[in-house]
Structure 1
Amino acid sequence: MNPDTSLSLPGLSSEDSLLLLRASAEISFNSILVTGPDRRIIYANPAFCNMTGYSLNDLLGQNPKMLQGPLTEQSVIDRMNAALKTSGSFNGSTINYRKNGRPYLVEWTISPVRGDSGEVRYFISIQKDITQLHAEQSTGNLFAKAIDAAYDGIFITNADGVIEFANQGFEIITGYSPNEVVGKKPSVLKSGKHDITFYKGLWRHLSEGLPFRAMIVNRHKNGHEIHCQQTITPVKNADGRITHFISIIKDMTDRVFEELKLREQASHDSLTGLLNRRAGEIELDVALIQAQESEASFCLLMTDIDDFKAVNDTYGHPRGDQIIKAVADILMDQTRKTDKCIRWGGEEFIVLLPFCDLPKAMEIAENVRAAMADSHFDEAGRITLSIGVAESQVNDTPAGLLERVDQQLYSAKRQGKNRVVTQQDCTPLKQNDDV
């Protein structure tokens, strides 16, 4: 929305329009962070504070880089800085850190708000998957821009249920443009999946001034069903009379959000289909947090293809890719559904084994080693794996655990390859005597 555009909605004063926009923002699933042109934080809504663990006083005057940490991707930050210096707009994702040190994945957009002369007065950062929104210090233009840029669908009806406003997110989810639904009732989305009892309960809540939230099956403009988490909230005037209803819909069917497909692509290795290193680092962080909270350990396997460089140099990269994919298939076949198989880089792989003790981890590792040793690759012949196994410890760090399992892997290499070595005594669990 252009910041010079009037905030008035059809048939409403600017004051009532601002009231509706403010109320819409307060119940959005997104969070909002506002900085000045110097990138210093001038506002963070409660949803943002809940997400990060920082209070508003902690954030005011700070640079958002305070949220960065070891897993924050520098290339994304560099791209963001370059974009803000040119177009002023940016969208991307990386790892940030809460006040308590725990990492989280954030996806965000940054948009400039310009004054009448075109100068940048603010930057707005809108972030996903947050259930509440409150923006006390924002201007009407900031609220309007935040609502229109929201990933969630937002529409506003009058007290009679006639739609007066719908944002771009509504069009993305339902297929209906704002022009097609303004002046109509939400029944245009009706799928027929809910009976009269459901709607009686809905209106009983709303008529009493209470918000209503439920999973609702709507129908897309193209005819297919969309399963939405929908929140409907009454808006009252100063006299306590309900004047409008604000609805926020979140598509739970994953049919219309292309960014979810991009997220899947960004987290998986294109050759093997396994998690890539970046996603693996996140999984390792999460596993350590869960282990510490539950006072339970987990195990980590690190495996490397023996003499892979010689195979690549002799038989070419296509044959090397075939072997890498074979290892990935074996890892998926020999591990549990709850395990995380990761292509760590090149010919190196990691397997995260949650709620797994060392004996079970050694058994899984040996099954992987044996399955690979039994494989045959035409002229390349028999290819083997060396595997290191380590168990997490109290107050472990990702770096410390990775260093230990890496030591076991290289111990397996030094002892002759094609074997599993554990952290207990760095002696091989089992080996093929033919090597």
Structure 2
Amino acid sequence: MNIGRFNRYYLLFLIPLAVLTSLTFWIIHNQTMDRVTSELKLESNILAGQVRDQLNLSFAEIHSDLKLLTEHYKLHQLDSLIKPRNVINELQELWISVAEQRARYDQIRFLDDQGQETIRINYSNQKAAATPEQKLQSKRHRYYFIEAINTPSGEIWNSLLDLNIERKQIELPLKPTIRFSTRVNRHDGQPDGVIIINYLAKNLLDKFRRVTASYSGHALLLNWQGYSLVSPNAANDWGFMFPDSPQSRVSLEHETAWQATQNNKQGQLLNQMGLYTYNQIDPSGNNEAASKCNSCLWLMLHVPNQLIEVKLWRELSKTIPLLLLSFFLFAIILGVALWHREKRQAHERQIQELNRNISYEHELFLNSPGVIAKLRNEIGWPIEFISSNIEELLDYDADYFASGKVTYSSMIDSRYLEKYTQETLEAENKGSNSFSHSPYLIVGRNKRSRWIQETVHAIRDKLGKLTGFYVHINDVTPLKEAEERLTQSRDYIQKVVDTIPDPTMVIDIDSHELKLINQSALDLYNNGQAIDPEITCYRLSHKRSNPCRGQLDPCPIKQIMEKRTAVSVVHKHYDHQGNVIHVDVRATPIFDDSGENIVQIIESHRDITETVEMEKQLQHIAETDRLTQIYNRMKFDEELKNQIAWASLTNNRFGLIMFDLDHFKKINDTYGHDMGDKVLINTVDLLNGRIRKSDVLARWGGEEFMIIAPLIDTKELRSLVESLRNAVQQYEHEGVGSITASFGASVVRPSDNIHSLLKRVDSALYESKQKGRNRSTVF
């Protein structure tokens, strides 16, 4: 065999293999980078949404409290130039109750239209108290009064989030504060004054820290100038409040990312500094606020580029060993194939040389590689002739066989002799002239075993009797060893795939059958048990008998065939116990050798059930009154708006009922707030059992409630309201006894909007109270 030519050919094929391996690594590197950044983007978006929703929920509660204080003010009709002392005292008691219940407002104040404090409630050490009249001050020239009195009626103004200052000094310990205010108008539309509450923002900032504690990168809360309010480095926080301290601003240190926030209220940016996710949060609740909002807060999540690189190489460390193993495996297979080729050519030359010295009957095999032998059809198959290259295969020379010392059966490994004999007898019984044996082991002089693949041609006499065989023997040992290495490689690939924590599977695009599945997927979908060979992806994960086709479960295969690139969809799956889980399915196409046709896809499933459930819980929290577990005022306003729009489109009517519990303050004062809360809960349970399933019950504020009654006329509405009033009156509350409620109601008119309908119902309730309470009035 020509060793030099073998080396030249081997290097000629090895160089393209190395180039292909490098290209494969480059592709894997880019795909892994895309996957890592996509996962970080998804994590950042989810966290940003959670933080935004929680902060907006906190601000919505503040807005609700501010509206409640405004309603207190309107109900007591402190709408005159002269404020009656008894009315002020009653308002002070109500606002003290609100301050102590909420435990989040440093001050609650009412300033008249000239900026003079009329009411000021201070909260400290879990107690609230009203400021004596002689200590009330004028705030006419303070910026928050000027801003608040000029804010349109019905809108909420808020200040910057900064540190509280007392006597021109920053109060210690630090007290982060936001002021919220709304203007109150007199009946003639002129401003009567403003209600201002100082919100203690420490709880809000602590909530921000808790929610972002487990984030992969850095979570920052910034003001409109880019100064940090909450950051991983607490020494940089509130720098704008301390001019003498070293100043650190995100707008300077991360200029490109900060510039992006000035153009969009939310988004993501990936540059050489890392991944940025930002969101503008407006405490005033104005979703249409411009990006230049001085009182707005900015949430910025930053994953540094170094962390992205660490995650990238952590992922690549799972792939590089497999890639290198594949390279060396293919290099070995290439070497074996070329070696076998060179060796086969050498055997061919030996056979051609032998062909000049043997008889015509051997010419059938002269052009074939390997060893040529003639066997007699006798016990043990004695060797009548064998080519000289047998010595290279078995370390016996040809003369040794000619002496009759060794039969062919004596060289066959005992484990394969029975099968070899059986195949020979079957071919003889069938009268076959040519047949092949299954690969078997043959043992040489030095006990060296070789794998043999042979072709047999039968020799018959003139009467057709089988007298012997021509045997063409090929050494297939390198191929068998390569097959064994390939089997080991497949086992290794399966073990590598089993280390992936996410359920992962390879799917045939035509049959939807699973060609490869890791242990994580088996544990999730099949209780860790092996799957049937022909099981489909939709049978395993969806527990159904047909592929995904609906809008709620789009099939990744169909999308990949259209886009010819990786896709990501969210599916509802079922685990092995039948429990519903929500997964983020990431699917990548696998092309055939031509690179044109997609034959399989790789799916990776990420369980996002907790994220989906958390979104549902946040939605429930945002819409539900915490005490009574019915709709809160914000959700009720949305439902009322929808009902008015529906009535306008369909010309159908609905009724609106407003009621509150009579003398409820006395219950709180006499029996305590816990008993008062229990009375509210019992009343809600009572009315939920009395109203129709289509009716909507909501807490309007304090002891006030609202009911939307669809498809009802005035007569039916009057009957419903009176039945509810009687039910409330007849119910006996444990420890309190019976209470009463006053009701006002009206059916919507074609010309109604939310304001006109609420005003009419409020007037009906007012009439019920004026007539002695425990009454119902329907306009």
TM norm structure 1:
0.54
Q: 2:741 pairs with 377, 380, 385, which one?
A: 385
* 8 A Cα contact 1:277 1:342, kept in partner: yes
Opposite residue 121 of structure 1, the aligned amino acid is A
Equivalent position SS for 2:27 = coil
Q: CA deviation at 1:218?
A: 4.3
Q: Could you say which residue in structure 1 is the equivalent of 2:558?
A: 205
- The 1:412/1:258 distance shift into structure 2, 3 A limit, reads same
Aligned counterparts of 1:307 and 1:207: Cα–Cα separation in 2: 66
Structure 1 SS opposite 2:697: strand
SS at match of 1:289: helix
What displacement does 1:265 show?
Answer: 3.0
**Unaligned stretches of 5+ in structure 1?**
1-8, 34-68, 90-113, 128-134, 150-162, 165-178, 424-435
Change in 2 beyond 3 A, CA 1:215/1:336: farther
The 5-angstrom pairing of residues 267-346 of structure 1 reads 267-346=623-702
Residues 238-249 of structure 1 correspond to what in structure 2 (within 5 A)?
none
Pick from 254, 257, 275 the counterpart of residue 121 of structure 1.
Answer: 257
Give the AA of the match of 1:319.
Answer: M
Alpha carbons of structure 1 residues 357 and 20: separation in structure 2 relative to 1, 3 Å: farther
**Of 6, 9, 12, which aligns to 2:27?**
12
What CA deviation, in whole Å up to 9, does each residue of 1:49-104 have, x standing for no partner? Answer: xxxxxxxxxxxxxxxxxxxx978896999789993222589xxxxxxxxxxxxxxx
Q: Distance in 1 between matches of 2:588 and 2:668?
A: 66
Give the Cα separation in 1 of the matches to 2:695 and 2:711.
Answer: 9
Say which SS state the counterpart of residue 83 (structure 1) adopts.
strand
CA offset digits 1:128-163 (Å, max 9, x no partner): xxxxxxx9x9656899666xx9xxxxxxxxxxxxx9
Give aligned pairs, total: 316
Correspondences of 1:39-50 after superposition (within 5 Å): none
- Structure 1 16/196 Cα, relative in aligned 2: closer, same or farther at 3 Å? same
**CA positional deviation for 1:301:** 0.7
Over 3 Å counting, the alpha-carbon distance change for 1:282 and 1:420 in structure 2 is same
The answer on whether the counterparts of 1:232 and 1:248 sit within 8 Å (CA) in structure 2 is yes
CA spacing shift, 1:203–1:244, aligned 2, 3 Å = closer
User: Secondary structure at the residue paired with 1:209?
Assistant: helix
Query: Which residue of 1 is the match for residue 714 of structure 2?
Result: 358
State, as a whole percentage, how many aligned pairs show the same letter: 23
Alignment match of 2:579 (pick from 225, 228, 231): 225
Instruction: Please say if residues 303 and 350 of structure 1, whose CA atoms lie closer than 8 Å, have aligned partners that are also in contact.
Output: yes
Map of 1:83 onto structure 2: 221
Aligned to 1:419: 775
Give the drift of 1:389: 0.7
Query: Secondary structure at 1:409's aligned position in 2?
Result: helix
CA 1:88/1:330 → structure 2, altered by over 3 Å: closer, same or farther?
Answer: same
Summarize the Cα distance change of 1:409–1:217 in structure 2 as closer, same or farther, 3 Å threshold.
same
How far has the Cα of 1:259 moved from its partner? 4.2
Counterpart among 388, 393, 396 of residue 752 in structure 2: 396
Equivalent pair of 2:556/2:587 in contact (CA under 8 Å): no
Q: 1:245 to 1:287 in 2, by over 3 A?
A: farther
Larger relative contact order (CA 8 Å, sep ≥ 6): 1
Distance change (3 Å), C-alpha of 1:266 and 1:23 = closer
State whether residues 305 and 384 of structure 1, in contact with CA within 8 Å, keep that contact through their aligned partners in structure 2.
Answer: yes
Q: What amino acid does structure 1 have at the position aligned with 2:614?
A: E
CA distance in 2, matches of 1:394, 1:318: 43
Counterpart residue number, 2:616: 260
* One-letter amino acid of the counterpart of residue 401, structure 1: L
Looking at structure 1, the residues matched to 34 and 597 of structure 2 have their Cα atoms a distance apart, in angstroms, of 14
1:306 is displaced (CA, Å) by: 1.5
How far does residue 302 in structure 1 lie from its aligned partner after superposition? 0.3
Please say if residues 22 and 143 of structure 1, whose CA atoms lie closer than 8 Å, have aligned partners that are also in contact: no
Q: Give the deviation of 1:329 after TM superposition.
A: 1.6
Task: Name the aligned partner's letter for residue 558 of structure 2.
Answer: H
Question: 2:651 and 2:720 mapped to 1: Cα distance?
Answer: 23
- Report the Cα distance in structure 2 between the residues aligned to 1:363 and 1:351, rounded to whole angstroms: 14
Q: Distance in 2 between matches of 1:415 and 1:399?
A: 24
**Distance in 2 (alpha carbons) for counterparts of 1:275 and 1:76:** 31
CA gap 1:184/1:308 in 2 versus in 1, 3 angstroms: closer
Give 2:221's aligned amino acid: A
For 2:671 and 2:618, the matched residues in 1 are separated by 34
* Structure-2 separation of matches of 1:248 and 1:70: 48
1:249–1:140 CA distance, 2 compared to 1 (3 A)? farther
Q: 1:387, CA displacement in angstroms? A: 0.5
Structure 1 residues 88 and 311: CA distance shift in structure 2, 3 A: closer
Shift of 1:295: 3.2
Please state how far the C-alpha of 1:355 moved relative to its aligned partner: 3.3
CA-to-aligned-CA distance 1:12-65 (integer Å, 9 cap, x gap): 37876788799999999x89x9xxxxxxxxxxxxxxxxxxxxxxxxxxxxxxxx
* Other structure's SS at 1:342 match: strand
Amino acid aligned to 1:12 = I
> Are the aligned partners of 2:660 and 2:742 in contact in 1 as well (CA < 8 Å)?
yes
The residue aligned with 1:38 is: none
Residue 230 of structure 1 contacts residue 248 of structure 1 at CA under 8 Å; is this kept in 2?
yes
Q: Distance in 2 between matches of 1:197 and 1:314?
A: 65
In the alignment, structure 1 residue 370 sits paired with structure 2 residue 761: no
TM-score (norm: length of structure 2): 0.33
Write the letter of the residue equivalent to 1:357.
Answer: D
Counterparts of 1:134-145 in structure 2, within 5 Å, are: none
Cα distance in structure 1, aligned partners of 2:252 and 2:760: 59
Asked if structure 2 preserves the Cα contact closer than 8 Å seen for 1:206 and 1:233, the reply is no
Distance in 2 (alpha carbons) for counterparts of 1:196 and 1:323:
49
Relative to 1, partners in 2 of residues 1:244 and 1:282: Cα closer, same or farther, differing over 3 Å? same
Q: Distance in 2 between matches of 1:266 and 1:10?
A: 48
CA displacement at 1:286 relative to structure 2: 2.6
**Aligned-pair distance for 1:419?**
1.8
Distance 2:548 2:257 in 1: 47
Query: Which structure is higher in helix share?
Result: 2
Aligned-partner residue type, residue 84 of structure 1: L
Query: Would the aligned equivalents of 2:269 and 2:276 in 1 still touch at CA under 8 Å?
Result: no
Distance 1:143 1:363 in 2: 65
Contact 2:745–2:761 (CA<8 Å) still a contact in 1? yes
Contact 2:503 2:606 in 1 (8 A): no
Provide the rounded CA distance (Å) in 2 between the counterparts of 1:183 and 1:274.
40
Q: Is the CA contact 2:503–2:605 (under 8 Å) kept in the aligned structure 1?
A: no
When the two chains are superposed, the root-mean-square deviation of aligned CA atoms in Å is 5.3
**What are the superposed Cα offsets for residues 365-418 of structure 1, whole Å, 9 maximum, x if unpaired?**
122101111123466443111111122233533222211110010111112222
Matched, 1:185 2:520: no
